[in-house]
Amino acid sequence: MTVPPVDGPTEPPHVTETRTAYDTVAVDYARLLEGELARSPLDRALLGHFAELVELEGGGPVVDVGCGPGRITGHLAALGLDVSGIDLSPGMVAEARRRHPDIDFSTGSLAALDLPDASVTGVVAWYSIIHTPPASLPQVFAELHRVMRPNGLLLPAFQAGGFSVRHEQAYGHTVTFEAHRHDPDHVAGLLAQGGFRVTVRTERAAQDYEKTPQAFLLARRG
């Protein structure tokens, strides 16, 4: 399938590479991560906290950016949120639609969302900024700031570190892509510079197959 670049005609090579990789692994990624949330009480607690704060803001649209097969999108919908999902990979979007036919999913990029200014109350970026190089994070946060309402909530989750890893294999496939283990201090600083107030910082130790601690930030759009 040929898909026009969602970042424009000069799409950075790492974006094309990330899309190709996730298109390749989409079906197996969805299968392997099925049930992961049920085994992750901290993840559910943070998502529940986010959902309650969105309701306290009066509800309103929430978008799961880099939604993959929609496992977090589906959970947020079950919590009662008006949520949709956006992902770079058409393969992931197809998998999300198949698994959650009642939720709206579309292809799109974190760096250029097809959403009006100040149109969403909440944004979840669950392990999706991990393929954005640190130098490009300010552009992504500026785009999230643009689409969010004042006081809206942003919840990014990512592997913590401060270094990058090149993968040649993933989810049983030969694929090449880069994963950035962002430094939580750096991400929190960029969010503050980008007009967000970081209100919660959580980090937990690596468990099971994980190689690094996991970081979760909750920020309010100023």
- What is the per-residue DSSP string for 51-99? HHHHHHTT---EEEET-TTSHHHHHHHHTT--EEEEES-HHHHHHHHHH
* Minimum CB distance to ligand SAM smaller for 155 or for 222: 155
Pick one of 89, 121, 159, 214: the residue that binds ligand SAM (CB under 6 A). 89
Q: Which stretch binds ligand SAM (CB under 6 A): 75-83, 88-96, 161-169, 203-211?
A: 88-96
Q: How many CB atoms lie within 10 A of CB 107?
A: 18
| Residue 64: other Cβ atoms inside 10 A | 30
Identify which range of 76-84, 127-135, 190-198, 200-208 contacts ligand SAM by CB under 6 A.
127-135
Token output for 80: 């009662």
48-54: long-range pairs with CB below 8 Å, 24+: 48/79, 49/200, 49/218, 50/122, 50/124, 50/153, 50/155, 50/218, 51/76, 51/79, 51/80, 51/81, 53/122, 53/153, 53/218, 54/81, 54/121, 54/122, 54/153
User: Is 88 an interacting residue with respect to ligand SAM (CB under 6 A)?
Assistant: yes
67 vs 188 by CB, closer to ligand SAM: 67
Applying CB under 6 A, the site for ligand SAM has a residue count of 21
The reply on whether position 156 binds ligand SAM by CB under 6 A is no
Q: Does 74 bind ligand SAM (CB under 6 A)?
A: no
Identify the residue among 76, 94, 103, 110 touching ligand SAM (CB under 6 A).
110
List the interface residues with ligand SAM, window 23-62 (CB under 6 A).
33
Instruction: Write out the two tokens for 104.
Output: 């709206």
From residue 128 to residue 147, the character string flagging contacts with ligand SAM as x (rule: CB under 6 A) and all else as - is: x--xx---------------
Chain residue whose CB lies nearest ligand SAM: 68
Instruction: Candidates 71, 75, 220, 221: give the one binding ligand SAM (CB under 6 A).
Output: 71
Residue 110 CA, chain-centre distance (Å), reads 8
Q: Which is nearer to ligand SAM, 9 or 58 (CB)?
A: 9
Q: Does 122 bind ligand SAM (CB under 6 A)?
A: no
The single residue listed with the structure tokens 């990512």 is 158
Q: Is 148 an interacting residue with respect to ligand SAM (CB under 6 A)?
A: no
Residue whose C-alpha is closest to residue 113's, from 150, 152, 140, 137: 140
Residues that bind ligand SAM (CB under 6 A): 15, 18, 22, 33, 66-68, 71-72, 87-89, 92, 109-111, 126-128, 131-132
